[in-house]
């Protein structure tokens, strides 16, 4: 009754927008619900789901897999936020040539295809990589005979930190930049410097971000699939997602795969709500003037310099390795003559573009309905509508794909059907990130222009053309580019549904790495890297031009 009375009082709510949002929500519940229900029905066909889960949990190997999943995620999160905090602190207090480029490199790593990073990491830290060559050279001058072993826990941790250190560093850098200049100046006048300044002033802002970023990184590492599948090396270093994939593809134990997928879903659902509860916005001041920096002692300054050198080398060397490996002309000739490369490139681009558009369509429809409720004061209902899209994070793509695989295994699926499944899975995987980018601009349009549009009768396409477009085109492009780049590099869904006739660049790269065709893999990785970088550069350039134009206005 409260909802109906509110709508009657305003008489200006657009039911079309609410209807479209409800349609998207019904699709999400239907699509994910069907997949999860298929997991339940597949595992309960021979008895109680509780007994089936207990039998799996009582298995010593499964307990080891679950334990290792949590253990590697915990270690990865600790290392990522520790090095991220040190890097952010060094970045804030050091101005150097290439600082902006390093920050852009950090942003690029967030959309970098996982298999490209793995290829680069193997080239640097692998048994025949740069580090092994350096160790071999040093062994000729000393008695140290050490060789790196990238497969196992060490490789998993290195690659997870490669992806999550930049994310943590940017979060902590924003926290440091939010400290008011007045507090920094007052601390300098009172003689609070060096570690005391960090402990008494900076720590108050940093600790507000510790738990949210830890839970986010932990969840990303817990649901990591491609990294563990490629670098795990043995059953000893297997996570739940990899065990699900192995149960389907290697052993064809569909009931076990369903049970493991349900376990994964339960863990991720709990982690998602913990992350949502902790990730509340922090109220801080924003410095509009030149930031005031309390000078640190020389030893701190030198240590920060070494930290920055480490961050640059750690982030840039794998990418540099990918580019250098791709300079072999013979490898290019061989790869370009391989029709599978062209087929994979064509499928990858089509999947990525379509998934980006579909993800954006779902995002906008959901936000249009949510902001209608926000407009009439039903903030909690608006948040629930948005959280419907964010809840996708609690159901990993592999769990969704396994449910669909179990449902469709009896049917002969043509390439167009497989293409549609991958597009929808990738679009939904990117949707939470698009929601984060688009939510505030869409809400701002409602707050600033809704009364004007209602009074002037500006509706539908005219409202979008004359009011919405100018303020959301930049975040719209950013959201599409992010969704497209994430889909371009995703390997999860294609790992289950891919075949000889239907493949993608990540799928092809994984096969090349598995067959030790490193020269061809270098070409495939380079193509993926260039495609992702071009998308990122175009958006960054447009964003910079947009900001510059607003500054001149």
Per-residue pLDDT of the chain (553 residues; tens, 9 = 90+): 455 454 444 446 777 788 888 999 999 998 988 888 887 777 665 556 667 667 777 778 888 888 999 999 999 999 999 999 999 999 988 888 888 888 888 888 878 899 999 999 999 998 888 888 888 887 777 776 777 888 889 999 999 999 999 989 988 988 888 888 788 888 777 877 778 888 888 888 888 888 888 988 998 899 888 899 989 877 888 898 888 888 888 777 777 888 888 888 888 888 888 877 776 544 444 455 567 777 677 888 889 889 999 999 999 999 999 999 988 888 898 888 989 999 999 999 999 999 999 999 999 999 888 888 887 778 788 888 888 888 888 888 888 888 888 888 777 778 888 899 999 999 999 998 888 888 888 888 777 777 777 777 777 677 777 777 777 888 888 888 888 988 998 888 888 888 888 889 999 999 988 888 888 999 999 999 999 888 887 766 655 555 444 433 4
Tokens of 508: 């092809």
**Superfamily of domain 59-324 in the CATH hierarchy:** MetI-like (1.10.3720.10)
CA angle 341, 344, 348 (to 5 degrees): 140
Tokens of 523: 């070409």
pLDDT of residue 262: 82
Q: Which of 213, 198, 359 is nearest to 278 (CA)?
A: 213
Those residues whose C-beta lies under 8 Å from the C-beta of residue 128, and which sit 6 or more positions away, are: none
Region for residue 192 given its phi and psi (left: phi exceeds 0; alpha: psi -120 to 50; beta: otherwise): beta
**Phi/psi at 408 (nearest 5 deg)?**
-105, 5
Could you tell me the pTM of the whole model? 0.86
Q: Which of 83, 241, 89 is nearest to 161 (CA)?
A: 83
Q: Compute the radius of gyration of the chain from its Cα atoms.
A: 25
């Amino acid at each position: 009754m409260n909802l109906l009375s509110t709508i009657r009082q305003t008489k200006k709510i657009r039911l079309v927008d609410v209807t479209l949002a409800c349609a998207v929500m019904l699709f999400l519940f239907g699509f994910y619900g069907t997949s999860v229900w298929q997991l339940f029905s597949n595992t309960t066909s021979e008895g109680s789901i509780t007994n089936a889960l207990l039998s799996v949990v009582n298995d010593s190997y499964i307990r080891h897999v679950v334990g290792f999943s949590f253990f590697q995620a915990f270690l990865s999160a600790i290392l990522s936020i520790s090095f991220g905090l040190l890097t952010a602190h060094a970045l804030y207090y050091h101005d150097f040539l290439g600082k902006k480029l390093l920050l852009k490199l950090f942003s690029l790593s967030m959309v970098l295809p996982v298999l490209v990073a793995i290829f680069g990491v193997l080239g640097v830290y692998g048994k025949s990589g740069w580090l092994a060559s350096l160790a071999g050279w040093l062994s000729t001058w000393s008695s140290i005979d050490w060789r790196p072993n990238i497969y196992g826990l060490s490789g998993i941790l290195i690659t997870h930190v490669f992806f999550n250190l930049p994310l943590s560093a940017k979060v902590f850098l924003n926290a440091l930049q939010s400290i008011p200049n007045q507090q920094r100046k007052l601390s300098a006048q009172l003689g609070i410097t060096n570690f005391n300044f960090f402990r008494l002033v900076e720590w108050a802002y940093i600790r507000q971000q510790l738990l949210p970023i830890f839970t986010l990184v932990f969840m990303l590492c817990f649901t990591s699939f491609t990294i563990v599948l490629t670098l795990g090396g043995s059953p000893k270093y297997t996570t739940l997602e990899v065990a699900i994939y192995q149960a389907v593809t290697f052993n064809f134990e569909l009931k076990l795969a369903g049970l493991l997928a349900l376990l994964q879903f339960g863990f991720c659902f709990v982690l998602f709500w913990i992350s949502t509860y902790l990730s509340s916005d922090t109220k801080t001041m924003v410095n509009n003037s030149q930031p005031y920096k309390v000078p640190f002692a020389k030893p701190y300054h030198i240590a920060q310099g070494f930290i920055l050198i480490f961050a640059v080398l750690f982030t840039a060397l794998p990418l540099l390795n990918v580019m250098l490996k791709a300079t072999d002309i013979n490898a290019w000739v061989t790869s370009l003559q391989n029709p599978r490369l062209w087929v994979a490139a064509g499928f990858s681009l089509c999947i990525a573009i379509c998934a980006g558009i579909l993800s954006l369509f779902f995002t906008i429809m959901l936000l249009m309905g949510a902001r209608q409720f926000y407009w009439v004061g039903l903030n909690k209902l608006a948040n629930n509508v948005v959280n419907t899209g964010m809840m996708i994070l609690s159901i990993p793509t592999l769990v969704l794909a396994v449910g669909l695989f179990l449902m469709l295994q009896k049917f002969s699926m043509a390439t167009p059907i497989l293409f549609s499944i991958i597009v929808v899975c990738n679009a939904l995987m990117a949707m939470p990130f698009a929601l984060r980018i688009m939510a505030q601009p869409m809400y701002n349009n409602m707050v600033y222009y809704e009364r004007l549009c209602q009074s002037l009768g500006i509706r539908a396409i005219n409202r979008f053309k004359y009011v919405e477009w100018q303020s959301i085109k930049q975040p719209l492009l950013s959201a599409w580019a992010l969704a497209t780049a994430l889909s371009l590099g995703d390997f999860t869904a294609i790992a289950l549904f891919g075949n000889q006739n239907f493949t993608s660049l990540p799928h092809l790269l994984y096969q090349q790495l598995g067959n030790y065709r490193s020269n061809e893999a270098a070409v495939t990785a380079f193509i993926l890297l260039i495609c992702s970088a071009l998308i990122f550069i175009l958006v960054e350039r447009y964003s910079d031009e947009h900001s510059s134009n607003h500054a001149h206005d």
